[in-house]
């Protein structure tokens, strides 16, 4: 059965407490938690609120920046990721989203070395706590400030090198939905997926987010979702919307529209 979630970035103006209560009221089964909102509310209180709400947690976002692109040292970024793994376990989140960090002044080889060093330290903890480290590649035009991983194939290759069930991939349709061969690639990606993030768009990705509500853009989301389900993907489909159009939206209407679109793609047609 397809599982819907909404990421807290979608409802940027709401607080953590509002997100939890309003997602539950809207009968959204799961929430993708943004660490900043949770920190503002209080982590201990937040864990308790989630448990009381009945919501599942689809992911915790995010940790990383292992190249120093976030202004922290490599060691500090690894330590922060360790804390995030423990928090994800407390929240019963199946995965922690990781961003490698921008390449910055490093050579490509050194940037990769820094990421591998971080993963070697983090994977034992992730395995122990039952939390997948979900690496998110992004297309170069929209994600060069966050990661140096700019293709699905290079990310999949990296994951295979570690041979750990705790190292997986995030597939974001905003970054890859325009890719002509994505539907054909899905069967090869499914086994490596920890999370699928859903958004629509009318234009190619850019540094200025231009995401649109589901079904309001040009991406073949119904085909993507259907192909993923046929390929055996059984994780969460997490709605993650950002941009000028989303900022102006009524969040309750946006959530209802997201649920309606998702249900139309995943409910078998009556014969």
pLDDT in tens, 79-122: 999 999 999 999 999 999 999 999 988 899 999 999 999 999 99
What DSSP assignment string belongs to 13-38?
TS-HHHHHHHHHHTT--EEEEEHHHH
Check residue 260 and give its pLDDT: 97
Q: For residue 97, give the nearest of 7, 209, 3 by alpha carbon.
A: 7
DSSP label at 250?
-
Q: What is the mean pLDDT of residues 25-47?
A: 98
Angstrom CA distances, 170 to 38, 48, 205, stand at 21, 27, 17
What digits encode the pLDDT tens for the residues 175-233? 999 998 999 999 999 999 999 999 999 999 988 888 999 999 999 999 999 999 999 99
**Cβ(35)–Cβ(60) under 8 Å?**
yes
CATH 3.40.50.970 fits 3-266, yes or no: no
Backbone angles phi, psi at 59, to 5 degrees: -165, 165
Largest CA distance in the chain: 59
Vertex 217: Cα angle to 144 and 174 (nearest 5): 25
Given CA atoms 105, 107, 110, 112 in this order, what sign does their dihedral have? Answer: positive
- Structure tokens of 157? 């290759």
Q: Where are the domains of the chain?
A: 3-266
Query: Torsion angle of alpha carbons 57, 60, 61, 62, nearest 10°?
Result: -170
Cα–Cα distance for residue pair 212/256, rounded to 1 Å? 14
193 in Cβ contact with 168 (< 8 Å): yes
pLDDT single digits (tens) 42-79: 999 999 999 999 999 999 999 999 999 888 999 999 99
Q: What is the pTM of this model?
A: 0.96
β-bridge partners, 239:
6, 198
The β-bridge partners of 30 are 5, 56
Query: Do 88 and 60 contact (CB within 8 A), yes or no?
Result: yes
What are the backbone angles phi and psi of residue 202, rounded to the nearest 5°?
Answer: -100, -15
Label the pairing between strands 167-172 and 132-135: parallel
Q: Quick one: pLDDT at residue 71?
A: 86
Q: Which residues pair with 98 in a beta bridge?
A: 63, 135
Residue 220 to residue 217: CA distance in whole angstroms: 9
CA distance 233 to 271: 25
Q: Which of 246, 193, 255 is nearest to 217 (CA)?
A: 246
């Amino acid at each position: 059965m397809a599982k819907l979630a909404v990421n807290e970035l979608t409802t940027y103006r709401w607080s953590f407490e509002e997100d939890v209560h309003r997602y539950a009221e809207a009968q959204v089964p799961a929430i993708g938690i943004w660490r900043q909102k949770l920190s503002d509310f209080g982590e201990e209180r937040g864990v308790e609120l989630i448990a009381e709400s009945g919501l599942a947690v689809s992911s915790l976002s995010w940790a990383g920046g292992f190249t120093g692109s976030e202004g922290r040292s490599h060691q500090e970024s690894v330590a922060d990721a360790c804390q995030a793994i423990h928090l994800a376990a407390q929240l019963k989140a199946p995965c922690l989203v990781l961003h490698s960090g921008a390449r910055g002044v490093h050579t490509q080889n050194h940037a990769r070395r820094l990421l591998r060093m971080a993963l070697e330290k983090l994977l034992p903890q992730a395995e122990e706590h039952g939390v997948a480290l979900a690496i998110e590649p992004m297309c170069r035009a929209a994600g060069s400030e966050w990661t140096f991983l700019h293709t699905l194939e290079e990310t999949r290759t990296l994951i295979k090198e570690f041979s750990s069930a705790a190292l997986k991939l995030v597939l974001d349709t905003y970054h890859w939905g325009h890719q002509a061969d994505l539907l054909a690639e899905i069967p090869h990606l499914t086994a490596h997926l920890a999370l699928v993030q859903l958004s629509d768009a009318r234009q190619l990705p850019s540094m200025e987010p231009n995401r649109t509500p589901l079904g309001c853009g040009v991406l073949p989301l119904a085909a993507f979702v259907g192909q993923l389900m046929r390929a055996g993907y059984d994780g969460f489909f997490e709605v993650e919307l950002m941009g000028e159009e989303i900022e102006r939206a009524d969040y309750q209407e946006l959530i209802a529209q997201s649920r309606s679109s998702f249900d139309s793609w995943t409910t078998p047609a009556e014969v």
